[in-house]
């Protein structure tokens, strides 16, 4: 069900409710007005008769003279005045009533709703010739009901016209709104298909303008993120190829040559006059060198100590390794023992993040002191903080480094958050919070 249809249905239902309510009020007011007018006419007629013919006097009336003047009063136009003799035969009645055109007669349902029961007034009079006659006054509200009908009809027509104008105005406004919504939907579909270059236009309506600005900002962020992810993926592939090339070179230069030397020495040892002791010592030296090379390659590929001894021991070994290579840097590690109970996928990612941070400090920071803090809060939240007193950098230049982008991706993949605080000459502080699953 479309929004336009829902809005139109609600407008129609509201208009119907307003018309019903307005009609009820109009009929109630018309009924009240007719009743008051008829009661007023009846009371006035009764008072006029009493004033002209007091009960205490024995008076006679000239019907042919008095009755036409009485009927011609404006106040008696809503009354039906009849005369009847003592035999109950109507001998004369008023013909002075203003006739109502047939086309102006209200509908019968309106007459039934507005009309009420009105009492009949009778007055006993004596004519000049001594006859007793009865003056009967009955309510004749048709003229008043007709006036009420014309007023109510005008009210209904005005209300209907206002409802139609409101309906048209609302639809015109919503037509403009629906066009803006259609543009926004088309823009979102383009974003869904990966077209982040398409921008929504500016809208004159503030709310839609705010939505358009937000979506345009979102597409700009998505475009930047996709560009960064592509660059990071390309950089990762380059690093992977570089590591493979380096590993191949290591295998060729170290293992290949060493194995060739061992083979040559073994062949030499088979000769009768070969110096077996010297050859054996040389083979032992080559094997020791190979062990060192293999361990170095294994450390670069994946530190076995991380699997065997845990994260804390691995970080301590990493700190000792870099401290021995750079004695001018005071590298501190504060780590709780509970980090060894974390999942393996979190452990390796934390190690790689710390390894990347320490490598950056060694290469670029020119720091004299660096601290690594690793703690687990009571809420099962891993808190990692690495800070140094090095050169620092401008915050806007952080995204140019693939190392920081790689760390962000690692943290986000673990469902955590990463914050970097740095200023030129004030060092750098990297903080990460990672939720841990309860075991």
Report helix, strand or coil for 39: helix
Q: Dig out the tokens for 249 from the structure.
A: 């070179």
DSSP H or E run through 135: strand 132-139
Residues 6+ apart with CB under 8 A from 185: none
What is the radius of gyration, based on Cα positions, of the chain? 53
Q: What is the pLDDT along the chain (439 residues), one digit of tens a residue?
A: 677 778 778 888 888 888 888 888 888 888 888 778 777 777 777 676 666 555 444 455 555 555 565 655 555 566 766 666 666 666 554 444 444 445 577 888 888 888 777 767 676 766 666 667 676 777 777 777 888 888 888 888 888 888 888 888 888 887 888 888 888 888 888 888 888 888 888 888 888 888 889 988 888 888 887 887 777 677 677 767 777 777 777 777 778 888 888 888 888 888 887 788 888 888 888 888 888 888 777 777 777 778 788 899 989 988 998 888 888 889 999 999 888 888 888 888 898 899 888 988 888 888 899 999 999 987 688 999 999 998 888 777 766 566 777 788 888 888 889 888 888 888 899 999 999 874 4
Angle at which helix 344-360 crosses helix 311-325, to 10 degrees, equals: 10
Distance between CA atoms of residues 422 and 299, nearest Å? 31
**Strand pairing class (381-388; 417-422):** unpaired
Distance between CA atoms of residues 128 and 132, nearest Å? 10
Residue-wise pLDDT for 53-91, tens only, equals: 554 444 555 555 555 656 555 555 667 666 666 666 665
Long-range contacts of 100-108 (CB under 8 A, 24+ apart): 100/142, 100/143, 100/146, 104/146, 104/150, 105/142, 105/146, 106/145, 106/146, 106/148, 106/149, 107/149
Beta bridge partners, 419, equal: 431
Q: pLDDT value at position 375?
A: 92
Give one word for 392, left, alpha or beta, with left for phi > 0 and alpha for psi -120 to 50: left
Phi/psi at 337 (nearest 5 deg)? -70, -25
Beta bridge partners, 418, equal: 432
DSSP H or E run through 435: strand 428-435
Question: Considering only CA atoms, which of 18, 12, 13, 8 is closest in space to residue 172?
Answer: 8
Distance between CA atoms of residues 317 and 301, nearest Å? 16
Distance between CA atoms of residues 185 and 208, nearest Å? 12
Q: Dig out the tokens for 67 from the structure.
A: 């009755």
Phi/psi at 373 (nearest 5 deg)? -115, 130
Q: How far is CA 346 from CA 309, 336, 421, 432, 438, in A?
A: 15, 15, 23, 13, 13
| Other beta carbons within 10 Å of 32 | 13
- Find the DSSP H helices in 361-433: 402-413
Question: Considering only CA atoms, which of 101, 98, 144 is closest in space to residue 152?
Answer: 144
Distance between CA atoms of residues 241 and 99, nearest Å? 109
DSSP H or E run through 309: none
Q: pLDDT value at position 382?
A: 92
Q: pLDDT value at position 97?
A: 47
Q: Dig out the tokens for 79 from the structure.
A: 């009354």
Q: pLDDT value at position 369?
A: 92
Distance between CA atoms of residues 340 and 315, nearest Å? 11
Report helix, strand or coil for 252: helix
CATH of domain 306-439: 3.30.565.10
| Other beta carbons within 10 Å of 251 | 13
Q: Go through the chain and tell me how many residues it has.
A: 439
Q: pLDDT value at position 94?
A: 47
What residues does each domain of the chain span?
Answer: 3-169, 194-301, 306-439
């Amino acid at each position: 069900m479309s929004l336009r249809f829902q809005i139109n249905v609600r407008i129609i239902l509201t208009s119907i409710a307003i018309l019903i309510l307005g009609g009820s009020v109009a009929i109630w007011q018309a009924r009240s007005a007719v009743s008051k007018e008829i009661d007023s006419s009846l009371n006035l007629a009764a008072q006029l008769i009493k004033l002209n013919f007091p009960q205490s006097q024995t008076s006679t009336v000239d019907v042919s003279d008095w009755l036409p003047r009485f009927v011609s009063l404006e106040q008696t136009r809503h009354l039906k005045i009849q005369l009847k003799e003592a035999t109950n035969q109507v001998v004369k009645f008023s013909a002075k009533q203003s006739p109502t055109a047939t086309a102006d007669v209200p509908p019968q349902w309106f007459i039934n709703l507005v009309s009420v029961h009105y009492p009949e007034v009778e007055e006993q009079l004596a004519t000049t010739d001594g006859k007793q006659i009865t003056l009967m006054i009955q309510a004749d509200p048709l003229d008043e009901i007709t006036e009420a009908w014309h007023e109510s009809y005008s009210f209904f027509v005005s209300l209907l016209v206002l409802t139609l104008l409101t309906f048209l105005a609302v639809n015109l406004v919503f037509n403009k709104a629906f066009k803006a919504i259609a543009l926004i939907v088309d823009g979102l579909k383009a974003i869904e298909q990966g077209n982040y270059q398409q921008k929504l236009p500016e809208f004159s309506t503030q709310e839609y303008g705010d939505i358009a600005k937000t979506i345009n900002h979102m597409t700009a962020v998505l475009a930047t993120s996709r560009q960064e992810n592509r660059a990071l993926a390309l950089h990762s592939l380059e690093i992977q190829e570089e590591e493979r090339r380096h590993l191949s070179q290591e295998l060729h230069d170290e293992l290949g040559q060493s194995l060739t030397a061992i083979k040559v020495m073994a062949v030499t040892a088979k000769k009768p006059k070969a110096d077996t002791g010297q050859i054996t010592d040389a083979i032992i030296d080559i094997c020791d060198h190979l062990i060192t090379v293999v361990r170095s390659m294994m450390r670069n590929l994946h530190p076995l100590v991380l699997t065997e001894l845990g994260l804390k021991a691995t970080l301590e070994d990493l700190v000792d390794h870099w401290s021995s290579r750079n004695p001018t840097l005071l590298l501190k590690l504060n780590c709780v023992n509970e980090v060894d109970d974390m999942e393996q996928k979190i452990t390796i990612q934390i190690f790689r993040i710390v390894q990347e941070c320490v490598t950056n400090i060694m290469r670029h920071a020119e720091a004299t002191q660096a601290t690594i803090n690793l703690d687990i809060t009571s809420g099962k939240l891993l808190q990692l903080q690495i800070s140094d007193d090095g050169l620092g950098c401008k915050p806007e230049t952080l995204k140019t480094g693939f190392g920081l982008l790689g760390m962000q991706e690692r943290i986000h993949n673990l469902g955590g958050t990463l914050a970097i605080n740095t200023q030129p000459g004030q060092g750098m502080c990297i903080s990460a919070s990672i939720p841990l699953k309860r075991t």
